[in-house]
Structure 1
Amino acid sequence: MEQQKFEKMYLMQTVQKTIVILRAFTKEQPKLSLTELNKKTGIGLSSLQRFVATLVYEGFLIRDDRTKQYQLGLSLIHLGKLVEEESSIITIAQPILQQLNKATKESISMSIIDGNERRCIMNIESSYALSARNHVGDTSPLYAGASAKSLLAFLPQEEIDQYLDEVAMEHVTENTVVDREQLLEQLQEIRKQQYVFTRAERIIGACSFSTAIISNGRPVASIAIIIPEARFDEEQFDELRELILHAKFDIEKQLNK
């Protein structure tokens, strides 16, 4: 127990020191030498060298071999861009998804790709007492469920192949597709029709419509209508499909202005 407590304290201090190093760079001082970093952060030179070497290796800092100075790296630009895109898409999508929620009275969610998973970043509750929904922060494999598959389908084929090479597909429910060729055929169909409809692939008792939001040729998010199977009426199919596609095109139009 004491060992675990020590490790937790050590990890927290390590993260804190890393943040202090990154925050040492400013608009006025975008480039700093190791000595200057030492003075600004108060971190001992021996430890500082290890931190800086790791940050350079991971792309968070760049070292100029000629001047021996460091500056913030491209990995931070990438992360900043992700935050900017996600913030923009939430601001743009929320009123559109609220209208979709009002029109359908069903749960509406938005998800993004997080590593090799789908992560829910927004959920608007159904008006009905009986509902099916995603919870903000929930994750699932990219091969399972409508909101995940609609993201996976619009990745470049080499990224899809790499993902499928890395992941071991397992049943989340008995309806989850775990055969690679069958999944690839489904992804091709999703790209063709621009949406996907699933029944109990990830959540037993729920069916979903989902479509991807595309920006700069990539899927930046997916939106979904999630309905309890007990309430779903096949006669609603065309109407729900058109509603979610209309929301998709609305969001994309504003996002890509």
Structure 2
Amino acid sequence: MKIIEHPKTEDGTVGKAMLILELVADCETPPRFSDIQERSPFPKASTYRLVSTLVSQNLLALDERTATYSMGGKLMRLASRAWRSASLAPIAAPYIDLLSKKTGQTIHLAKLDNGQVLYLDKRNANKPVPMFSDAGKIAPAYCTGVGKAMLAFTNNESAQRTVEQQSFYRFTQHTITSAKELEAELMTIRQQGYAFDREEHEIGIICIAVPILSARNEALAGLSITLSTRQFELPDLKGFKPDLEETAKEISKVAGDWLLNY
């Protein structure tokens, strides 16, 4: 089971319910209650009450045939409204479509959220490659290309705070495992303007990523092209850099009012 980082447990019922929702959302397949309980920091009785309440509010859905849980209809509707009104994703979508069509590879749009990467949108490759990422999922910032690209172009105070939030869990033999190592990597990324994922989060998955910058030259979001090592090698990534950078610049230009409110 892939380990996902979560914020520290919040006090109060709402914070606990939100954590349960995140636990379910992060599962690669719909979990049973036993799977939720295994990941939950709360006692079994408390976890059961939280799950039952979320089901009754249609924030979680229970499939009685398989005894598994998934995101409820109400939550999906709320997420859709939030995505349309407050996300860069709808603005970026036409440009991501063009980049996807031109490259034929997996495209990710993401932002930093509480020290982690939140995937806002995704386009699958012409020949889809199995991988963890999907719109709405979260991933660590320190070992993903798009996370490092955004971190490198975050203001110093925010970047330092985000670095301190990282767990530096070793997902693969290539994972960055210390703040010192990450800070050295971020310095390189600032100098060259792009970041790599060298199989740091998932074996067999590599990517090149760039920040989508505001007028203050700070990262609003990140954009990446992700490839499989079964088809490409690390040196091949640079061939995608011009199209990736051009797309990021175009998204920045057309963001308009959304950027003004950033």
Name the TM-score, length of structure 1 as normaliser: 0.64
Comparing 211-220 with 138-147, which one deviates more in the overlay? Answer: 211-220
Q: How far off its partner does 1:130 sit? A: 4.4
Provide the aligned C-alpha RMSD in A. 3.1
Could you tell me which residue of structure 2 aligns to residue 109 of structure 1?
Answer: 108
Confirm whether residue 176 of structure 1 aligns to residue 175 of structure 2: yes
Could you tell me which residue of structure 2 aligns to residue 252 of structure 1?
Answer: 252
Contact 1:112 1:118 in 2 (8 A): yes
Q: How far off its partner does 1:163 sit? A: 2.5
Could you tell me which residue of structure 2 aligns to residue 226 of structure 1?
Answer: 226
Contact 1:92 1:255 in 2 (8 A): yes
Q: Aligned runs of 1:149-168 on 2, under 5 Å?
A: 149-168=148-167
Distance 2:237 2:165 in 1: 35
Per-residue deviation, residues 21-67 of structure 1 (Å, max 9, x unmatched): xxxxxxxxxxxxxxxxxxxxxxxxxxxxxxxxxxxxxxxxxxxxxxx
Confirm whether residue 209 of structure 1 aligns to residue 208 of structure 2: yes
Q: Aligned runs of 1:3-82 on 2, under 5 Å?
A: none
Q: How far off its partner does 1:91 sit? A: 2.1
Please identify which structure carries the higher helix content: 1
Secondary structure at the aligned position of 1:187 is classed as: helix
Contact 2:140 2:147 in 1 (8 A): yes
Per-residue deviation, residues 231-255 of structure 1 (Å, max 9, x unmatched): 1156644330111111111111111
**Unmatched 5+ residue regions in structure 2?**
1-43, 57-81, 258-262
**Which structure has the larger Rg?**
1
Q: Report the count of equivalent residues.
A: 191
**Unmatched 5+ residue regions in structure 1?**
14-80
Comparing 234-243 with 146-155, which one deviates more in the overlay? Answer: 234-243
Secondary structure at the aligned position of 1:232 is classed as: coil
Per-residue deviation, residues 203-243 of structure 1 (Å, max 9, x unmatched): 11010011111225332211110100111156644330111
Distance 1:2 1:94 in 2: 43
Distance 2:135 2:103 in 1: 20
Confirm whether residue 186 of structure 1 aligns to residue 193 of structure 2: no
Q: How far off its partner does 1:7 sit? A: 6.0
Residues 1:213 and 1:129: Cα distance change in structure 2 (over 3 Å)? closer
Q: How far off its partner does 1:157 sit? A: 1.3
Contact 2:206 2:234 in 1 (8 A): no
Contact 1:215 1:255 in 2 (8 A): no
Contact 1:107 1:132 in 2 (8 A): no
Q: How far off its partner does 1:185 sit? A: 1.5
Q: How far off its partner does 1:4 sit? A: 6.1
Q: How far off its partner does 1:98 sit? A: 1.1
Distance 1:149 1:130 in 2: 22
Q: Percentage identity across aligned positions?
A: 20
Letter of the structure 2 residue corresponding to residue 219 of structure 1: A
